[in-house]
Amino acid sequence: MKVFFDTNVYVAEALLGEGAEEMLAATESADWRVFVSTYQLDELERVLTEYLGFSRRLAVLSRQRAVRRAELIEPGASRHAVDEDQADTPILRAALAAGADYLVTNDHHLLDLDPYESVRIVSMSNYRTILVNEGFLPANS
């Protein structure tokens, strides 16, 4: 399986820890391939520092953590777009360029597109259910 986590998953991991961290760890232990883009890493740093007011150090550590567990993908020009929110377009394009089976997000503009071509766009809670059903997470955690 190939998975692309939206920026909001990494923000949740940095701020909330447990649930998002557990999903990311389960994905790694399943040997599913995870992808990340430079756009997304830049967005992660920007959201944590400029919008949420956290330290630059937390933002850099969060970026490094995402890079360690993922393969970098740089999508080229594409016809694919999220008309309702253009800021989500680079996320969709990166997931498509990676050939992702799942794009995990809590962004309703992206969730409303599910499925998009060959990519299933699922919420964090639905992705957790997938991991449980596949036996990578216990049902009661």
Q: Is residue 9 over pLDDT 80?
A: yes
pTM comes to 0.94
- Would residue 139 count as lying in a domain? no
Q: Is residue 44 over pLDDT 90?
A: yes
Count of structural domains within the chain: 1
User: Could you give the CA distance from residue 18 to residue 30 in angstroms, rounded to a whole number?
Assistant: 18
Mean pLDDT of 65-81: 92
pLDDT of residue 15: 85
Mean pLDDT of 4-9: 95
Retrieve residue 136's tokens: 């990578």
- Would residue 99 count as lying in a domain? yes
Residue 59 sits in a domain of what CATH number? 3.40.50.1010
Mean pLDDT of 95-102: 97
User: Could you give the CA distance from residue 135 to residue 111 in angstroms, rounded to a whole number?
Assistant: 24
pLDDT of residue 141: 57
Closest C-alpha among 51, 50, 46, 87 to residue 63: 46
Instruction: Give CA angle at 12 (132, 87), nearest 5°.
Output: 110
Closest C-alpha among 72, 102, 108, 74 to residue 88: 108
Mean pLDDT of 71-96: 93
- Would residue 40 count as lying in a domain? yes
- Would residue 141 count as lying in a domain? no
Which structural domain range is residue 18 located in? Answer: 2-133
